[in-house]
Each structure stands twice: as structure tokens, then as C-alpha cells.
Amino acid sequence: MTAEHVAIKCTYNNGDEGIYVGFNGTCSESVIKYNIESGRVWCSQKDCECREYYDAGFKGERPKPSKELCYESVLFRDWSYGAGWFHTGQKAGTPMHLKNVGEGKIAILTTRFPYDEEIDRRIVGLFKIGEVKDKEDKETWLIANRRFRVRLPMEEAQELCFWDYYSTEGGAKWGTGLARYLTNEQVSRILFDLKATARDEKAREGIERLITEDFSGEIPPPASGVRARGGVLREKRVLLNRKYGASGEGIDHKELKMWIAHNPQEIGISGITRKEIEYVFQSGDVADIVFSISGNRYAIVEIETAWPFPGAYQALKYRVLKCAEEGLDIMSQDVEAILVSWSIPKEVRRFCEKYGIRFVEKKLRT
């Protein structure tokens, strides 16, 4: 049987979580509670140390990370993962096996953060399989090759959604089982996307080397998973995440942006031939709204709520970018920058007046 790449379903673990996603220690009490009450299979078992700690009201000694506690607690310490054992049904007490795995293939590590839906499953790390241990009376173990191990920073994991690359009948449904098998094209696409968004130079070099050595370096087809087909393209989601942060766009900001998009006359814009919300420049910057106006003119609108100074700088930058994009002089009067905010303090007004940015005070709710 030909070996395949594999995606692994990991129960969320926030041990040693900071810049990087966890999976390197015992979960916090809040995550222990969440995993148990959400019915995570091993976490909920009576003989699980975390369950015992939970049942004791989190009193006594906190469980220490180990393979006996859970494989997730030492995933990024030991760089190995076991298929586990059946806990329910006719096979209860017997080991699980992964039949299609092999040395040299890639293991993609996935999880769902607390309260996320299955469609939001993230990729938190990956490794090349260096060894497969598979005995009949023991579960399958995947041991990472020392040359290629990637533990993703939280910011990058938030940008890498498993269901961009994979689909099942009926949508994003993992169902039962630990593993899902992946094609060369799917894994190659994941690696290309990771290389494009990785901040760490050493990590990018390692990914580039793997792409060249194991995937011929050819650009794979675009992602075609259920999430990629059904929503905003991944590249744009990444840029929006970087603009608004991990917590996403605030409701007040979004409401004001959408109101202006549908009522541009209220801020003095007319003659519109086209509008684009969340306009992406070649630089990767994202403007809130860009209006195309008759006569080959443009209006760039940047929205702020409570503190508009950053938005004033962004509006200035976006005007220059649009001029460059259209081949115009950067001081061209055919491109207008507009800052809209709840209120515009004097220092922001002075800045806008100095650099020719029109400003509008507008608040939808008081």
C-alpha cells in the first residue's frame, strides 16, 4: 500500500502557550474544564489525570505533562504522536492503527481552538515523518524527522485553516477517527501558503528546502477545500487578520464602514462608478473602502472609531499607493484620501490639513 501524507486531529492544549501555540505542557484549568465538559474523549475518561483533577475541584497537585497524561501535552517536546486506543464500543481497550503512513511523508497537526466550529480547524504544526512504529498490540507511533519540524506561532496558526485544503461529503465534517490522508497537491499548497506567511526566516528557508527537495518546487493548484470555495480567499483573510488583529474587526468599525459604503453621499462622494470594500493593494495593505468615480478619479476612505491618528497615517499611505497603482503623480488631485471617525481631535485635524486628507466626523450611535 502506498504511503500518504496525513492530517492528525489533536485535542486543543494550551500548555506553554505564548507566542507559539501550546501542546508543550499541561493545559490551564479553564481549558481542562472546557475539554472535559465539551466531551473530548480522553479528557473525559475517569482514569485521565486531568479528569481526576477536575473532579477534585482543581485541588491537589496539578497533573504533569507526559505521554501517560496525554500525547498532546508533550507533542512539541517529544515530536512524536500516537494513534491512541479505543475507549468506547466493541474495540474498547484495543490500539488504533494508521495503515497508510510512511517515512518521508508529512504529518499535519490540526486542532480546534475553544468555541471554534469545525470549519475553523487550524493547522498548528507539521513534521516530516522520520520513523513509523506499528506493532499489532500497540498503537501506531509517528516519530518526527529531526530536520523538519515546525511549531507555528499563534498568529500564523490563526491564518492557516485546515478546511481551506480539504473537503468531505457534506462540508467540513471530520467525524470519527484520528487521521485524514492528504495528497501531494494538498500538502504542497499548505507548504507554499505557510512559506508566504511565515515571519521567521529560518522557518521559511526550511519550508523552501522541503518544497524543492520533496515537491519539485512547482507551484501547486490553488486551495480548493470547502472553506476556500465557500468564503473569502485565504490570502485576503490573512491580510484582514493582520489589519484588525486576532480578535477581528470590531462591530462599531464594521457598521460605520458598511454605512458609508452604502451612503457615500453622506460624506460628500458622488459620481461613483464602482466601490470595493476592503481593497487590497499590491503591497498587501488593505483600505477600508475605495470608490472609483467618473472621470478616472478615486476616493480612498479609512474608518476609525475612538482614536483616529493611525487612520490618518493609513489614509495618507493609501492615497500614495493608489496613485502609484494608477501611474499618477503621488500628489495627484485625482485621488482623494478621506478619514472618517467618531471625532477628530485638533492634532489629527492639523495633520490632515497639512497633508491634504479630508476628514469627516460621524458616529452612528450615541
Tell me: do 165 and 218 sit in the same domain.
yes
Range of the domain at 270: 251-361
pLDDT digits (tens, 9 = 90+) for 110-131: 999 988 889 889 999 999 999 9
Tell me: do 76 and 221 sit in the same domain.
yes
- Dihedrals phi, psi of 252, to nearest 5 degrees: -65, -40
Cα 252–Cα 256–Cα 262 angle in degrees, nearest 5:
145
Tell me: do 92 and 216 sit in the same domain.
yes
Q: Show which of 228, 244, 260 is a domain's final residue.
A: 244
Overall number of domains in the chain? 2
Residue 304 in domain: yes
Tell me: do 101 and 197 sit in the same domain.
yes
> What's 343's DSSP letter?
-
Q: Give the per-residue pLDDT at 168.
A: 84
Tell me: do 230 and 127 sit in the same domain.
yes
Residues 6+ apart with CB under 8 A from 332: 323
Give dist(CA 316, CA 300) in Å, integer. 9
Residue 39 in domain: no
Residue 113 in domain: yes
Q: Looking at the chain, which runs of residues are DSSP E strands?
A: 5-10, 80-82, 106-111, 122-133, 141-151, 179-182, 272-280, 286-293, 297-303, 335-341, 358-361
Q: Give the per-residue pLDDT at 229.
A: 55
Residue 55 in domain: no
pLDDT digits (tens, 9 = 90+) for 347-365: 999 999 999 999 999 988 6
pLDDT digits (tens, 9 = 90+) for 31-48: 999 999 999 989 999 999
Q: Give the per-residue pLDDT at 284.
A: 78
Tell me: do 205 and 289 sit in the same domain.
no
Tell me: do 205 and 328 sit in the same domain.
no
Specify the pairing of strand 286-293 against strand 297-303.
antiparallel
Q: Show which of 244, 273, 288 is a domain's final residue.
A: 244
Give one DSSP letter per residue of 14-72, joined into a string. -TT-SSB---SSPPPHHHHHHHHHTT-HHHHSTT-HHHHHHHTTS-SPPPPPSTTT-GG
Tell me: do 147 and 271 sit in the same domain.
no
Residue 315 in domain: yes
Q: Give the per-residue pLDDT at 217.
A: 77
Q: What is the CATH number of the domain that holds 339?
A: 3.40.1350.10
Residue 10 in domain: yes
Q: Give the per-residue pLDDT at 234.
A: 58
Q: Give the per-residue pLDDT at 317.
A: 95
The tens-digit pLDDT sequence of the chain (366 residues) is 688 999 999 999 999 998 999 999 999 999 999 999 999 989 999 999 999 999 999 999 999 999 999 999 999 999 999 988 877 778 887 888 888 899 999 999 999 998 888 988 999 999 999 999 988 788 899 999 998 999 999 888 887 899 999 988 777 888 778 899 999 999 999 998 888 777 778 888 888 889 998 988 788 888 888 877 544 455 665 665 656 655 556 788 888 999 999 999 999 999 999 999 888 888 878 899 999 999 999 999 999 987 889 899 999 999 999 999 999 999 999 999 999 999 999 999 999 999 999 999 998 865
Q: Give the per-residue pLDDT at 235.
A: 61
Neighbour-count burial of 113, counting CB atoms closer than 10 A to its CB (0-12 exposed, 13-18 middle, 19+ buried): middle
Tell me: do 324 and 353 sit in the same domain.
yes
What is the reported pTM?
0.67
Residue 35 in domain: no
Q: Show which of 217, 244, 271 is a domain's final residue.
A: 244
Tell me: do 264 and 198 sit in the same domain.
no
- Neighbouring C-alpha atoms within 13 Å toward the C-beta of 121: 25
Tell me: do 98 and 238 sit in the same domain.
yes
Residue 57 in domain: no
Q: Give the per-residue pLDDT at 231.
A: 46
Tell me: do 112 and 261 sit in the same domain.
no
